[in-house]
Structure 1
Amino acid sequence: MDKSKLFTYVRYISIFLILINISNYADNLSWLIIALILLYFINNQIRFFNLENHKKLNYISLFLEFFIILSIYSISHNFTLFYLIPLIIDISCLTYTNLKYLLAGTALFLSIFIQIDYSIVSAIETASILLIIFLLSDYIYSQGISKLNYQHLYDKLRISQDNLKKANNELEVYANSVEELTILKERNRISREIHDSVGHALSTTIIQLGALEKLLKNDEDLFELVHELREFVNKSYSDVRGAVSKLKPTEYEKYQNLFKIEELIKTFEKINNVDVKCTISKNTWPLSTPQFSTVYRVIQESLSNSLKHGNATKIKIFITFNNDNCTVSIKDNGRGCENIQKGNGLNGISERIREINGNVKFSNTKDGFLVQGNFPKYIRGDFIE
């Protein structure tokens, strides 16, 4: 049973017992007492159901109830502690500790003041019962608040965990993307270095050995030795060329234009001290000249807008290649824009995307601004070039 149900049951049991008490002296009730009792019930129900979030009205209702109870006793000289039980429960649910205990003390004093006419023992018993009810209600209410706080904290931790998992997945994809691009660049660099250094040296050696062969035609022993050496170097040169061909990545051409985008991002980061992460999917196909030009300019303009208009400190770029289309998303953590009005920059992005038969949308998120463009790989069956 939760707090609200328990307090509701106790409240209505008390009201029911008040009605039984009233029925015992119904013949002696005046219209004034009936009006006060109705006012007591109405005030009690309004406070319980409607004034929980209205602090000032809630306090006014509590003080009004003190006055009504005292007035009922003053006129009828009849009293039951059940008048004070809903009041003491509502006081226990107040948030301000000092005021809560002051009002609780007032309620206990009122019960002693009324009951002392009957006997001191009766007054002490009534006050003790109300004190126990107040302490139990206060404990139940505080436990309920603690439970809500724990639940709120748990929800925040769960949201943080979900965000952490999402960030971890994004970081993993980004790391894989960066690793793949780095490996391709390094393999291409090594193959180029081998071709330019070792390959050039072997090629020069072969030419020189060929010239030496011609000079040693009359000396059969030396001629044969130089000839065999030239054949060996020639074979080594062929092996080196084969190794260079295998080492040079075939996918490099697919990423060649993307390396230029990577250089753009690195330069932007270095100059503006903004954290930019670019993630590229693995299913990459080579961009045509118009496609690459569009992607490059869209990213360039978006980076500039994020810094200039959004004061962003972090920007995420996703370039996703599918079988039939490519999607470019640029999201920042800037201040965003509630009323998006297209200027030269956004109009330029829209025009460039439309030129390659694509579409673009701009949206304001809860934590920044998003530019998302999409364009097809082919138009009417032909590659865009």
Structure 2
Amino acid sequence: MSKRTLLIYIRYLSLFMVILNIFSNNNEISFLPIILIMSMIINNQVRFFNFKNNSILSCISIAIEIIIVSFLQSSINSVGDIFYFIPSVLDVCFFKNSLLKYILLSIIALCSFVINLSASFGSATGSCVILIIISVLCIYIYNESLNKVNIQNLYDKLRISEDNLKKSNSDLEIYASSVQELAILKERNRISREIHDSVGHALSTTIIQLGALEKLLTNNKDLFELVKELRLFVNKSLQDVRRAVTDLKPIEYEIYQNLFKIEELTNNFTKLTNIDVKLTISKNTWDLSSVQYTSLYRIVQESLSNSSKHGKSSKINIFITFNTRDLVVTISDNGIGCKNIVKGNGINSICERINELNGTVEFDNSSNGFSIRASFPKHTGGDFIEKN
């Protein structure tokens, strides 16, 4: 049973006990007590359902109810009954303002004591003590309920923090894996290029020189055959080196080659602006067409510029995800954001480029900072770049 339902049951029970006590102790009831009873019930219900979030109106309603109760008890000579004040006590106990709560409870207890004092001092004291006990119990229930809500809120915050931490850890693992893979591809490509340019060039020059020497030794058959065999051996070695270079040069590098230019863009942007840019690229990449790459490059470039000039951000995250059917790029910053998104030349340019690729783009300023999420299908945007 919820707290609200329990309060309603107790409230209606106390009102029912008031009405039952009046009719059981009085054979004939005049018109005035009935009017007062109806006024008390209406005032009580209006306060509970309409004034529960307004302390001032609730205080006025409670004061009116105390006046009605005093007139009602004097008109029917019914004293010593605490049920008249229970609805007011319940409402006051659940006030958020502690000082106001205790002041009103003291006033209600004092009014009960004064009203019931005409019967006897013991009756007045007993009614006052019972109201104080009920008030203490209600305050205890309220505090327990408040603590439960606070614990639940704390638990929710911890759960959200845990989810965010897991997401950040996952993003960090993806980022580290992406950076490591890109570094390996770059290094393999550099080594293959160095072997091709140094060893390959030296062997090619040696073959040319041996060929020239071979022509000069046509009269010396023994040296001619020796030089010829040496030339063929060096030529075979050159072919082995070329095969090794081809095997060493990563095929994935050509897929990543355009993405390296985006990485260079982010690195240069960081050097110029001192803004921390984290670029994460998924492993499952595929070739970008010239139009796709140009659009992706310009989107990242424009987003970086906007985050620096308008967002005043200090950190930017870029996620480029290659799915089986489309590419998704998400760019978010921790800047000041904006209340209303005004589509200037930069944002319009992003929208136009994505529309040309039959994609979609979304702008989000609901959280801290600003984010762009754009996607376009894999097979769109013109011819694909051929591998060399």
TM-score range, shorter chain: 0.7 to 0.9
SS in 2 for 1:293: helix
Instruction: Say if 2:178 is the partner of 1:140.
Output: no
Tell me how far 1:232 sits from its aligned partner.
7.0
> 1:186: Cα distance to partner?
1.2
Cα distance in 2 between the residues matched to 1:89 and 1:323:
62
Counterparts in 2 of 1:267 and 1:172: CA distance versus 1, 3 Å: same
Aligned partners of 1:150, 1:292: CA distance in 2, in Å?
Answer: 50
Aligned match of 1:309: 310
Alignment partner, residue 346 of structure 1: 347
TM-score normalised according to structure 1 size: 0.85
Structure-2 separation of matches of 1:58 and 1:197: 91
Whether the 8 Å CA contact 1:338–1:364 is kept in 2: the answer is: no
Q: Distance in 2 between matches of 1:352 and 1:242?
A: 41
Which residue number corresponds to residue 361 of structure 1? 361
Structure 2 CA distance for partners of 1:337 and 1:96, relative to 1, 3 Å: closer
In the other structure, the counterpart of 2:182 is 181
Specify the SS of the correspondent of 1:251: helix
Give 1:88 shift. 1.7
Conserved 8 A contact 1:277-1:317: yes
Within 5 Å, give how 1:22-171 maps onto structure 2. 22-79=22-79, 80-171=81-172
- Structure 2: how far apart are the matches of 1:342 and 1:90? 52
1:238-259 Cα offsets, whole Å, 9 max, x none, are: 5444333222111111111111
Q: Alpha-carbon deviation of 1:109?
A: 1.9
Query: For the residues of structure 2 that align with 1:379 and 1:104, how far apart are their CA atoms?
Result: 75
- Counterpart code for 1:47: R
Is the contact made by 1:268 and 1:274 (CA closer than 8 Å) also made in structure 2? yes
The answer on whether the counterparts of 1:315 and 1:330 sit within 8 Å (CA) in structure 2 is: yes
Distance 1:169 1:117 in 2: 75
Counterpart residue type for residue 42 of structure 1 = I
Q: State the alpha-carbon separation in 1 of the partners of residues 109 and 355 from structure 2.
A: 78
Q: Structure 1 CA distance, aligned partners of 2:165 and 2:207?
A: 60
**Partner Cα distance (1:113, 1:9) in 2:** 28
Q: Which amino acid aligns with 1:40?
A: M
Give the corresponding residue for 2:191: 190
Compared with structure 1, are the counterparts of its residues 204 and 371 closer, same or farther at alpha carbon in structure 2 (3 Å cutoff)? same
Tell me which moved more, 340-349 or 177-186: 340-349
Q: Is the 8 A contact 1:92 1:138 kept in 2?
A: yes
- 1:370 paired with 2:372, answer yes
1:300 is aligned to: 301
- Report the Cα distance in structure 1 between the residues aligned to 2:316 and 2:263, rounded to whole angstroms: 14
Q: Is the CA contact (8 Å cut-off) linking 2:316 and 2:333 kept in structure 1?
A: yes
Q: 1:137 is aligned with what amino acid? A: C
CA RMSD of aligned residues (A): 3.3
Structure 1 stretch displaced more, 274-283 or 17-26: 274-283
Tell me how far apart the structure 2 counterparts of residues 378 and 70 of structure 1 sit (CA, whole Å).
83
Q: Return 5+ residue gaps in structure 2 as ranges.
A: none
**Please, which runs of 5 or more residues in structure 1 have no aligned partner?**
none
1:53 is paired with a residue of what secondary structure? coil
State yes or no: 1:16 paired with 2:16.
yes
Aligned pair in 2 of structure 1 residues 19, 378: CA closer, same or farther (>3 Å)?
Answer: closer
The one-letter code of the counterpart of 1:106 is: I
TM-superposed CA distance for 1:383, in Å, is: 4.1
Q: CA deviation at 1:333?
A: 3.7
- CA deviation after TM superposition for structure 1 residue 173, in Å: 2.2
- C-alpha contact (below 8 Å) 2:178/2:280 kept by paired residues: yes
Amino acid at match of 2:255: K
Task: Confirm whether residue 288 of structure 1 aligns to residue 292 of structure 2.
Answer: no
1:95–1:298 distance in 2 versus 1, CA, 3 Å: closer
